[in-house]
Chains A and B, each alone.
Chain A
Amino acid sequence: MSSNLHEPGLAVHCEDLTVSYAARPVLWDIDVDIPPGVMAAIVGPNGAGKSTLIKSILGLVRPTAGHITILGRPYKDQRRRVGYVPQRSSVDWDFPTTAIDVVMMGLYGQLGWFRRPGTKERQKASDALARVGMLDFADRQISQLSGGQQQRVFLARALVQDAEVYFLDEPMAGVDATTERAIVAILHALRDAGKTVIVVHHDLQTVRTYFDWMVILNVRVIAQGPVRDIYNADNLRRAYGGQVALLDRDKVLGETG
């Protein structure tokens, strides 16, 4: 068995990965390695290919070249060990369904064909909603939730999968400070329980407090490694180019700048 494993010591391993849309490369020959048990940020400007990277790891986008393994095996063999929180804008929130129903969707893969979610699944979903502080909203129609609450429902849906590697696409976009703290606390708890948490993140100011690993991306990988080693003015300027002036160097980079 173990002979099939490729880089089993890594939570995520991408090698020579190229992804293009309509012949235009969006990710160009990148290698990304993320060790298990870290909370990793994927940062980079708009259009850098962050969502594309996550989607190709999860098999939603087919790479032009390269290969990807999760905990040593291709994604299709590891689905049960992976949880996913998509960008909030990716679904129609007017769909006639309730918060707890959405959370139970996280269990559909484990349930298998023809079986409907029952009491056990409902209990698991309630527990996950309680963990994100949304139990009171379990029976609300999802369009009647605020943006931050919708994001927490998505998070609960991933929690209920009870995975080992979690991918989150901008979970902190458009949520207030309280919700952001709550989300970060949950993610830290996951990491402390030995899970790997990989987050597309936009706010450079909080990278150093929230994360211990980081991948700076802009079509190519600019830098990757422990946050304290690679969070510096040089790397950020190479990723963001001229935009770094907009980022207010002193505030973002602090004394490292």
Chain B
Amino acid sequence: MTMLAFLSDFTIQNVMAGAALLGIVSGVLGSFAVLRKQSLLGDTLSHAALPGICIGFLIAGVRDLPVLLAGALVTGAVAALLMVALTRTTRLKTDAGLGIALSLSFAVGIVLLTHIQATGGAGHGGLESFLFGQAAAILRSDIYVMAAIGAVALALVMAFWKEFKLVSFDPDYARTLGLPVLALDVTITVTIALAVVIGLQMVGVVLMAAMVVAPAAAARQWSNRLGTMVALAALFGMASGLFGALVSATARGLSTGPLIVLAASAIVLVSLAIAPGRGMVWEWLQRLKDRRALPSRRVLSTLYRLAAEHGNPAYPAEQTMLDAYHGTSTARGLERLKARGLVARAAHAPEFTPHWVLTPSGITEAEALLGHPNEDENQ
């Protein structure tokens, strides 16, 4: 099959469109879940979707996607609100509340699912495919349903961007400004539930939580702005979706959902390792650089203090004296400083041993090192 024929295959188009959609929406909404320290919320919402899917099936009598997803949305929201009620009225912490809501609703879902399987015979509609997702079964009409839900979710984020941001960052302050914090909390939660619902058919209830957390966690590593983070999360989510769709289409016997989640997890691992500013490798390199710069910094500040003590900016310091003061050879540090033009060799008759003076730029550098203790407050 040529690439073109491959891409124009109807089923593959469907799967790719669906995977990209679910990646984008879960990346955007996942960003808010992660920043609000509610990573477990995605887990709860997706597990709580299972009873909703079953109830939707029992009501509709057939596998009608809009009804199933509406059921998922309702039970997801109920579980999330149960969590809010538990944490507001008892001493439970949010994660415990989410955990309880999660296991309770998943248990109910499994009971309903086995009931449907046992009594429904051939007509049980293959609901178990919602556990781990089944991309190949996606129809064009399903894509339209997913796109409509995604459009609503993204529109809500756009419309309430600044309110979502403030409520996530500083809810108390938001309340003093008169924002309806509780209503906004509920809106954010429901919007996250919409994002979860989009992925149920393709990724399934068990793995969907990973799609809420992974793209957002990876994006956080690369950016210090909410807007950039959300855009990156959407991009990472979409890339994972397309990767999973393409690989599963080319290699037989690999299912799409788990591949999408694997791709997203790989992006997280890479981001944790190498992202500038936060990545582990980056930090390690920075520390190495710091450690190598430390001896020369010390020598520089010693030279500065000697010059200050003698009231002579061009005070020549003898190298052996510097060695003695630091208890180690300062030759390499001095050479490094010389290479950067911060110190210069000086002759100091009648002695012929090496002496060193600060250059004007060396003095500026030393003052920058010593001069701003405030800047170091947080170290």
Q: Check A108 against B170 for contact (C-beta < 8 Å).
A: no
Query: How near does chain B come to A31, taking the closest CB pair, in angstroms?
Result: 23
Specify which chain A residues have a CB less than 8 angstroms from the CB of B223 in the assembled complex.
96
Whole-angstrom CA separation of A179 from B220 in the bound complex: 31
Chain B minimum-CB-distance residue to A161: B177
Question: Roughly how many angstroms separate A92 CA and B169 CA in the complex, as a whole number?
Answer: 7
With both chains docked as a complex, state the minimum distance between the C-beta of B140 and any C-beta of chain A, in angstroms.
34
Contact of B161 among A60, A116, A176 (CB under 8 A): A116
Smallest CB separation, A38 vs chain B (Å): 21
- Which stretch from A76-84, A187-195, A225-233 is at the chain B interface? A76-84
Task: Say yes or no: is B262 at the interface (Cβ < 8 Å to chain A).
Answer: no
The listed residue (B159, B168, B179, B377) touching A95 by CB distance below 8 A is: B168
Could you tell me if A96 and B224 are in contact, using CB atoms closer than 8 angstroms? yes
Quick check: B374 and A176 within 8 Å, CB to CB? yes
CB of A119 within 8 Å of the partner chain: no
Residues of B within 8 Å of A86, CB to CB, are 170, 172-173
Contact (A176, B377) CB under 8 Å given A59-B175, A96-B229? yes
Per-position 1/0 for B355-379, Cβ under 8 A of A: 0000000000000000000110110
* Chain B residues with CB under 8 A of A55: 172
Residue of A nearest to B162 (CB): A108
Q: A105-B169, A108-B163, A147-B378 are in contact. Are A96 and B176 (CB under 8 A)?
A: no
- B178 cross-chain contacts in A, Cβ below 8 A: 76, 79, 109
Residues A91 and B162 in contact in the complex (CB < 8 Å), given A60-B175, A148-B377: no
Q: In the complex, what residues of A have CB within 8 A of residue B226's CB? A: 95-97, 101
Using Cβ atoms and an 8 Å threshold, which residues of chain B touch A199?
A: none
Q: Is the CB of A116 within 8 A of B35?
A: no
Interface secondary structure of A, over-half rule:
mixed
Min CB distance, A187 to chain B, in Å? Answer: 19
Instruction: Kindly state the interface size class of chain A when it binds its partner.
Output: 20 to 34
Task: Using A59-B175, A79-B176, A97-B226 as known contacts, say yes or no to A147 and B377 having CB atoms under 8 A apart.
Answer: yes
- Asked if residues B177 and A98 are in contact (CB atoms below 8 Å), the reply is no
- B224 lies within 8 A of A146 (CB): no
Please tell me if B225 contacts chain A, counting CB pairs below 8 Å: yes
- Decide if B35 touches A95 in the complex (CB within 8 Å): yes
Whether the Cβ atoms of B225 and A114 lie closer than 8 Å is no
> What is the 8 Å Cβ interface bit string for chain A, positions 95-134, against chain B (1 contact, 0 not)?
1111001100100110101101100000000000000000
Are the CB atoms of A108 and B175 closer together than 8 Å? Answer: no
Would you call A198 an interface residue if the criterion is a C-beta within 8 Å of the partner chain's C-beta atoms? no
Q: Report yes or no: B35 in contact with A96, Cβ–Cβ below 8 A.
A: yes
Please tell me if A20 contacts chain B, counting CB pairs below 8 Å: no
The residues of B that contact A60 with a CB separation of less than 8 Å are 172, 175-176
Partner of B225, one of A58, A98, A111, A157: A98
A111-B162, A116-B162, A146-B374 given; A97·B176 CB < 8 A: no
Chain B residues within an 8 Å CB radius of A90: 170, 172
A105 and B375 contact, CB distance less than 8 A: no
Q: Which residues of B217-264 have CB atoms within 8 Å of chain A's CB atoms?
A: 220, 223-226, 228-229
Per the 8 Å Cβ criterion, residues 53-99 of A in contact with B are 55, 58-60, 76, 79, 82, 84, 86, 90-92, 95-98
CA distance A204 to B176 in the complex (A): 29
Please determine whether A146 and B377 come into contact, CB atoms closer than 8 angstroms.
yes
Collect the chain A residues with CB atoms within 8 Å of residue B177's CB: 79, 108-109
B172 to chain A: which residues have CB within 8 Å?
A: 55, 60, 86, 90
Q: With a CB–CB cut-off of 8 A, which chain B residues contact A113?
A: 163
List residues 307-328 of chain B with CB under 8 A from any CB of chain A: none
Which residue of chain B is the closest to A178 with respect to CB atoms? B374
State how many angstroms separate the Cβ of A251 from the closest Cβ of chain B.
26
The yes or no answer to B306 lying at the interface (CB within 8 A) is no
Residues of A with C-beta under 8 A to B37: 92
B377 to A, closest residue via Cβ: A146
**CB of B70 within 8 Å of the partner chain:** no
7 closest residue pairs by CB, A with B:
A109-B177, A141-B224, A146-B377, A79-B178, A84-B176, A91-B170, A146-B378
Besides A60-B172, A97-B169, A105-B173, 13 more A-B contacts (Cβ < 8 Å) are A55-B172, A58-B176, A79-B178, A84-B176, A86-B172, A92-B37, A95-B169, A96-B223, A101-B226, A108-B179, A109-B178, A146-B378, A147-B378
A-B contact pairs, 22 of them (CB 8 A): A59-B175, A59-B176, A79-B177, A82-B176, A84-B173, A92-B37, A95-B169, A96-B220, A96-B223, A96-B226, A97-B165, A97-B169, A105-B165, A105-B173, A108-B166, A108-B174, A111-B162, A114-B159, A146-B374, A146-B377, A148-B377, A176-B377
